[in-house]
Each structure stands twice: as structure tokens, then as C-alpha cells.
Amino acid sequence: MNDNVFLDTNIFVYLYSEDEPEKQSVALNILEQSTCVTSTQVLNEFCSVCLRKLKMPGNEVQQSIEEIRDNCELCYIDMEVIQKALNLNSKYGYSYYDCLILASAFLNGCECVYSEDMQHNQLIEGKLKIVNPFL
């Protein structure tokens, strides 16, 4: 599979966590077989989870985000993304932060968003599919 896919925070958390080896394997497979896109928002969320929940040292978190940056196209949250997120929020009812993820994926030409936090198989704007790869 070589489509552009957007990776939500939980994909990276499982990739760097040792707690769930099956989910870690799924996350690694996605990263190896797809052209991956993520956002600065996801990197911020990932850093927060790593520091707070996984208790990773700051230097390990830094190394992890550098690896993510080297393996994913990184998109930034700008006014276009914010406006699209607000539109998606009113249309689909997801939280604003989930809508930022959907907007980032949509505006960066992704075919799907890999996330376990949104409705599996839902089609957004007729183009962007939400996929929970852990089902």
C-alpha cells in the first residue's frame, strides 16, 4: 500500500510502547508499508503521553520525534487547517482536536486516517476514511 495515510497519536504511542507488542507490530507495519503523514499537533500529543504516561526520559522522547520526523511527512497547523477543522466539527461532531487531525489529513491528500479514537470505516467528505488498524 503506497497511499498517503495520516497517523494519529495512538499509532506512535504503540510504536514506542513495550506494553502491547501486537499493536506495536501493527503500527510498525503501517509505517513500513505506507507513505505516512502526521502533524505538529500529533507530535505534541505524543510528547505529552510519552513524558506523562510512559515516563520516558526527555532525551528518548526527542530521539523518538526525530525518528518520526524522518519517516513521515510533517504538516503544520495553519489557518486553513483551523478553518477546515471548525467546518468538520459542525458537520461530523468530533472534538475540535480530532477535527484538526481530520482536517490535516484531508488537506494533505491522505486516503485514510489511522486512529483508534474515531468511528472505524467512517468516510469524511467523501474522500477520507477513518481506519482503526487494531480491530
For the stretch 69-104, pLDDT in tens is 999 999 999 999 999 999 999 999 999 999 999 999
What's the grid cell of residue 26?
501493527
pLDDT value for 54: 92
Instruction: Tell me which residue range forms the domain holding 48.
Output: 4-75+109-131
The reply to whether 81 falls in a domain is: no
The reply to whether 84 falls in a domain is: no
Confidence band, pLDDT 50/70/90 cuts, at residue 1: very low
Show the DSSP H helices in 9-119 as ranges.
9-16, 21-33, 40-52, 58-71, 79-92, 96-107
Number of domains in the chain: 1
pLDDT value for 85: 98
* pLDDT average, residue stretch 40-68: 96
The reply to whether 13 falls in a domain is: yes
As a whole number, the mean pLDDT across the chain is 95
| CA-CA-CA-CA torsion sign (90, 91, 93, 96) | negative
